[in-house]
A and B are shown apart, each in its own frame.
Chain A
């Protein structure tokens, strides 16, 4: 499944070369025909995060202070970890900023 992922607010620093935008191909788990946010998080942790995974993941979800947006919509409105993704979805992970 082709997805576009974007990391911001400093989360990109956890990735290789601090690249923010990623076009990725996430495969369904065997026997499953869908990809949920839960699957995507574990895929991101295994394939994109290069350092300090605890700055991205806590338990089976994202760490506190990270907003997750599926097609520009808060994932809380789409089912959180159980949200089912579709081809060409855009998922944004953004850490909140506090500076000023």
Chain B
């Protein structure tokens, strides 16, 4: 109330005139922006195949609307920018200079999943000039607990499209380039080369090697994050003397050591925390402020609430990619088979299909349904871990996890009492290993149910929960 009374004097009316002037200018800039976007909409080509990278525009930041055009110096921030970014402009360590560098920088986010979600949102909100987003997946309902950039309305639609729309909704003044499709050695150089900073927010090992190699070849700093279960890791590669991924890990780990979120689980906020810190590191590098996390690695343990920052080795002179005597060229990069090198697929979605057993030791889910329908006497053994068995299970199944199977054999033997034995798991891989073990131990009647509970849900009972 007091403020309103004071604002009736002459000084206040000056203030109101000034404010009206400012808002009019802001309105004009917004209208320009709207018409620019409308014309972009008319010229853009829609409906792209998922497998091929489709770009909606290039990442040059020549857009005049970024800067004030009304007579002041070319380097000054516009009134709209000053107002929007005021809280970070007030930081002495960041300020106008930081904002100006940020708005002229181009950052590529590879992966629009659990890590990439907060990365893209923070990069958009803080005013990075151009954000590129690469992803070949579509949004699924079971992504939403951690991939917070996506909403239910986008389930089934490309992640890149969903993420770009979200970035635009947050900040229509930043440029967002959609790279729809999987990053691959054949397209990586062309895409990565358009950006100043690269954020690795992918979910698989071959992509991590590929992105690191690409950043070395093109001399780009790489903000690399990873999260799984209740742990996360973060570092900046190939920046200010820090090592590249290959300096740290010249030999890939055995593929059995590579766990995936779709198998091991992940608590949504864990990649969220790491993604936020990736955004922070990308902003620091782009704005050239502070001390980047290069040559150091942050290790986050969510369950025990511990964060450890450790000192890493420097760039290895013997590194085959970034070392002194390396002769790794762009051509070699384009030809390099990263999936073969790491013995693992470039997508978290590709699942290994084991084939350990002869056909005689396996039955289909439909055949098992017939066993049930005929009320044939049998035991159904579920070999998944206990916590997965608790999520969902078939009625009358007995849970003995594969890890406990050998020591529980006597119990199983007494339970069987000469009835037939069928073994099931989530997708039909663990059950094969179990049947193999059972055969070795004399349980010759054990049969594997092909495709596990997933095929039960797909072929027999569509209401059966899938996880």
Given the complex of chains A and B, what is the CA–CA distance between A99 and B231 in angstroms? 10
Quick one: closest A residue to B206, CB to CB?
A98
Does B141 lie at the interface of the complex (its beta carbon under 8 Å from any beta carbon of A)? no
Residues of B80-127 whose CB lies within 8 A of A: 111, 113-116
- Shortest CB–CB separation between residue A37 and chain B, in angstroms? 15
Instruction: From A20, A72, A77, give the contact of B313 (CB < 8 A).
Output: A77
The CB with the most chain B CB atoms within 10 A, among A10, A51, A69, A96, is that of A96
- Using known A-B contacts A55-B257, A67-B248, determine if residue A97 contacts B301 with beta carbons closer than 8 Å: no
Quick one: closest B residue to A98, CB to CB?
B205
A99 pairs with B304, CB closer than 8 A? no
- A interface residues, tally (CB under 8 Å): 26
Does B226 lie at the interface of the complex (its beta carbon under 8 Å from any beta carbon of A)? yes
Does B292 lie at the interface of the complex (its beta carbon under 8 Å from any beta carbon of A)? no
Instruction: From B202, B229, B311, give the contact of A10 (CB < 8 A).
Output: B229
Instruction: From B201, B233, B348, B403, give the contact of A97 (CB < 8 A).
Output: B233
Instruction: From B203, B271, B311, give the contact of A74 (CB < 8 A).
Output: B311
**Residues of chain B with a CB closer than 8 A to A54's CB:** 254
Residues of B184-232 whose CB lies within 8 A of A: 201-205, 208, 225-229, 231-232
- Using known A-B contacts A72-B308, A73-B310, A100-B271, determine if residue A64 contacts B266 with beta carbons closer than 8 Å: no
Does B156 lie at the interface of the complex (its beta carbon under 8 Å from any beta carbon of A)? no
**Residues of chain B with a CB closer than 8 A to A67's CB:** 248, 297, 310
The CB with the most chain B CB atoms within 10 A, among A51, A63, A97, is that of A97
- Using known A-B contacts A65-B249, A98-B258, determine if residue A74 contacts B310 with beta carbons closer than 8 Å: yes
B310 pairs with A9, CB closer than 8 A? no
- B interface residues, tally (CB under 8 Å): 47
Residues of A55-77 whose CB lies within 8 A of B: 55, 63-67, 69, 72-74, 76-77
Does B290 lie at the interface of the complex (its beta carbon under 8 Å from any beta carbon of A)? no
Quick one: closest B residue to A70, CB to CB?
B310
Given the complex of chains A and B, what is the CA–CA distance between A63 and B232 in angstroms? 20
- Shortest CB–CB separation between residue A36 and chain B, in angstroms? 19
Does B299 lie at the interface of the complex (its beta carbon under 8 Å from any beta carbon of A)? yes
**Residues of chain B with a CB closer than 8 A to A51's CB:** 403
A100 pairs with B113, CB closer than 8 A? yes
Given the complex of chains A and B, what is the CA–CA distance between A87 and B365 in angstroms? 58
A99 pairs with B254, CB closer than 8 A? no
Does B50 lie at the interface of the complex (its beta carbon under 8 Å from any beta carbon of A)? no
Given the complex of chains A and B, what is the CA–CA distance between A53 and B260 in angstroms? 21
**Residues of chain A with a CB closer than 8 A to B203's CB:** 98-100
**Residues of chain B with a CB closer than 8 A to A20's CB:** 301, 304
- Using known A-B contacts A8-B299, A63-B254, determine if residue A100 contacts B249 with beta carbons closer than 8 Å: no
Quick one: closest A residue to B295, CB to CB?
A74
**Residues of chain B with a CB closer than 8 A to A83's CB:** none
Quick one: closest B residue to A65, CB to CB?
B253
A9 pairs with B252, CB closer than 8 A? no
Instruction: From B205, B258, B259, B301, give the contact of A8 (CB < 8 A).
Output: B301
Does B309 lie at the interface of the complex (its beta carbon under 8 Å from any beta carbon of A)? yes
A95 pairs with B299, CB closer than 8 A? no
Does A94 lie at the interface of the complex (its beta carbon under 8 Å from any beta carbon of B)? yes
Given the complex of chains A and B, what is the CA–CA distance between A10 and B348 in angstroms? 18
**Residues of chain B with a CB closer than 8 A to A98's CB:** 202-205, 208, 226, 228, 258-260
A100 pairs with B205, CB closer than 8 A? no
Given contacts A65-B257, A99-B226, A99-B259, 19 further A-B contacts (CB under 8 A): A8-B299, A9-B231, A20-B301, A55-B254, A55-B256, A63-B253, A64-B254, A65-B251, A73-B310, A74-B313, A96-B249, A98-B204, A98-B208, A98-B228, A99-B114, A99-B203, A99-B229, A100-B116, A100-B226
What 8 A-B pairs are tightest by C-beta distance, nearest first? A65-B253, A99-B228, A64-B251, A97-B226, A76-B313, A100-B115, A100-B203, A97-B228
